[in-house]
Amino acid sequence: MNTVHKISSETLDLSTINDIIFQQKKIELSTEAISKISKCREYLNSKMQEQGDPIYGINTGFGSLCNVKISKDKLTQLQENLVMSHACGIGDQVPKGIVKLMLFLKIQSLSYGHSGVQVETVERLIYFYNNDILPLVYTQGSLGASGDLAPLAHLALPLIGKGEVYYNGEVCNAESVLKELQLNPIKLQSKEGLALLNGTQFMSAYGIHLILKSYKLSYMADLISSISIDAFDGRIEPFNELVHLVRPHNGQIKTAERIRGFLEGSELIDQEKTDVQDPYSFRCIPQVHGATKDTLAFVERTFKTEINSVTDNPNVFIAEDKIISGGNFHGQPLALALDYLKIAMAELGNISERRIYQLVSGLRGLPTFLVDNPGLNSGFMIPQYTAASIVSANKQLATPASIDSIVSSNGQEDHVSMGANAATQAYTLIQNVERILAIELLNASQALNFRKPKLSSPLINSLLNSYRNQVPFVKEDRIFHDMIKSSILFIEDFRIDNDLLFD
């Protein structure tokens, strides 16, 4: 197995990133990337020598201070001041896994040779990544335009020996860590601070993390709903391929195919049915889950484009001899995609809660609240309340963040994406979906036990045998919090091969 990923201009995709994360690969710059970064820096140095005119962000102030020219002897101080002054994030700390993705994606963006940074700067970011020296970054502060300024400032602070980092399992002062490792702070050159701060790596890291998680939860939603179908004594006819070929949305077709596969060999699905139709939350699983899959495909395309792009400003074009100030840092494509992702994933939770409700309602021969002696035992009554509460919270979180904008920088930055808020909302929402699915799995596994001696499919039986090692069958009331937590952990630990995850 290759344990090193080389940073290059080769297109990054989700499967590659998933492998890098789960195989804990180290990263290094390819010869191609080193050459591009070096040539761009050399070009910028030469340009600074021969040109006295203001170049935004290189020898000028920033934002509404763009017309203030800075003398050559102050350019390093200018860049360091930029990093320090913009490090005003607040709120919760960004999860370590997402911070590590931020480092990776910033390195990737800088490697294309349009940002004017030193190779030394990029190599130090790689050192941080490979040695799990992870800057403390905060969830609040980015408007999602001009890039993710505040979060990326916190990401960059340790380069100059400032800020705090996670190191060896502790929060440490970055300066002391550099001294311990006998590393000198980076002396930022012209343009470097702006290259580090401009960009969409906060939104992008959240997005990539959440897309990977959403693909897994999409798969788990299909699998868990298949258990619910058998537990509810549901019908297989709504999943017949013929139904979906006459309305051929890709996600719908894929969902029906998956569920047919999951239920193959089930004694329960093949038995004679007394009910002619199932409720929509069962019968329309392909249409609802499938629409989420189609949304995921759109969101993936958006983020795949973004993580293979240059998103800082200004951009340096050596062949054309141009340094152009533009707006590639604006997060609008990501903000819209994250809002769309929120809505689509909220619906997976919404329909899952409806199946939970049906399973505890005492229908189709199942005991009320899925427990013997209801009344003395409340059984699975309140887990449904919990799921309903979470669904309601998700409806609030799914409200689009991208429709908002607040003027900043004295009117210079007069439209912003609010994509960072969409990202953090999506993080909470998708965690919530996992919790709802965990409750459905808890309920469906309990309900299926009342169908014995007939069994579900070999695949589902094998899954539930593993599940029962962590979550027991409930004979009488117990603390359901502990069981829900165990059910969540079961989903978190469940591994799915890339070829199934991204199929």
Give yes or no: residues 114 and 181 share one domain.
Answer: yes
Give yes or no: residues 376 and 430 share one domain.
Answer: yes
CATH number at residue 92: 1.10.275.10
Q: State if pTM tops 0.85.
A: yes
Give yes or no: residues 97 and 218 share one domain.
Answer: no
Averaged pLDDT score across all residues of the chain = 94
Give yes or no: residues 33 and 167 share one domain.
Answer: yes
Percent of the chain at pLDDT > 70 equals 96
Give yes or no: residues 188 and 69 share one domain.
Answer: yes
Of 453, 17, 438, 451, the closest CA to residue 207 belongs to 17
The total domain count for the chain is 2
**CA distances to 104, 212, 313, 316, 491 from 132, in Å:** 12, 21, 28, 31, 26
CATH number at residue 274: 1.20.200.10
Catalytic (active-site) positions: 56
Percent of the chain at pLDDT > 90 equals 84
Give yes or no: residues 140 and 192 share one domain.
Answer: yes
Give yes or no: residues 179 and 245 share one domain.
Answer: no
pLDDT for position 57: 64
Cβ atoms of residues 135 and 65 within 8 Å: no
Look up the domain containing 323 and give its range: 206-501
The yes-or-no verdict on residue 375 having pLDDT over 90 is: no
pLDDT digits (tens, 9 = 90+) for 218-277: 999 999 999 999 999 999 999 999 999 999 999 999 999 999 999 999 999 999 999 999
Give yes or no: residues 386 and 486 share one domain.
Answer: yes
Boundary-marking domain end, from 142, 171, 199: 199
The whole-angstrom separation of Cα 348 and Cα 202 is: 25
The yes-or-no verdict on residue 66 having pLDDT over 60 is: no
> Which tokens in the block code for residue 158?
């340790």
The whole-angstrom separation of Cα 125 and Cα 103 is: 7
Give yes or no: residues 185 and 43 share one domain.
Answer: yes
* CA max distance for the chain: 87
Quickly state the pLDDT bin for 214 (edges 50, 70, 90): very high
Boundary-marking domain end, from 199, 215, 247: 199
Boundary-marking domain end, from 199, 218, 245: 199
Give yes or no: residues 194 and 220 share one domain.
Answer: no
What type of residue sits at position 403? Answer: I
Give yes or no: residues 413 and 281 share one domain.
Answer: yes
The yes-or-no verdict on residue 350 having pLDDT over 80 is: yes
Q: Does the CA dihedral 34-154-18-336 come out positive or negative?
A: negative
Give yes or no: residues 357 and 213 share one domain.
Answer: yes
pLDDT digits (tens, 9 = 90+) for 448-459: 999 999 999 999
pLDDT for position 65: 59
pLDDT for position 410: 75
pLDDT for position 295: 98
pLDDT digits (tens, 9 = 90+) for 261-308: 999 999 999 999 999 999 999 999 999 999 999 999 999 999 999 999
Lowest mean pLDDT, pick from 49-53, 93-97, 407-411: 49-53
The yes-or-no verdict on residue 50 having pLDDT over 90 is: no
Average pLDDT of the residues in 464-485: 95
pLDDT for position 68: 64
